[in-house]
Amino acid sequence: LPSPSRQASTRRMSIGESIDGKINDWEEPRLDIEGFVVDYFTHRIRQNGMEWFGAPGLPSGVQPEHEMMRVMGTIFEKKHAENFETFSEQLLAVPRISFSLYQDVVRTVGNAQTDQSPMSYGRLIGLISFGGFVAAKMMESVELQGQVRNLFVYTSLFIKTRIRNNWKEHNRSWDDFMTLGKQMKEDYERAEAEKVGRRKQNRR
Phi, psi (degrees; rounded to nearest 5) at 46:
-65, -30
Residues 137 and 43: beta-carbon distance below 8 Å: no
> Residue 123 is part of which domain span?
26-53+60-194
Q: How many domains does the chain have?
A: 1
- Report pLDDT digits (tens) over 93-111: 998 999 999 999 998 875 5
Torsion of CA 152, 154, 155, 156, to 10 degrees: 80
Q: What is the rounded distance in angstroms from the CA atom of residue 144 to the CA atom of residue 77?
A: 21
Taken as a whole, the chain contains a residue count of 204
Q: What is the rounded distance in angstroms from the CA atom of residue 55 to the CA atom of residue 118?
A: 28
CA distances from 27 to 160, 164, 180 (A): 10, 9, 20
Residues in the chain with pLDDT values less than 70: 1-21, 110-116
- Whether 200 is covered by a domain: the verdict is no
For residue 8, what pLDDT is reported?
41
The enclosing domain of 111 has a CATH number of 1.10.437.10
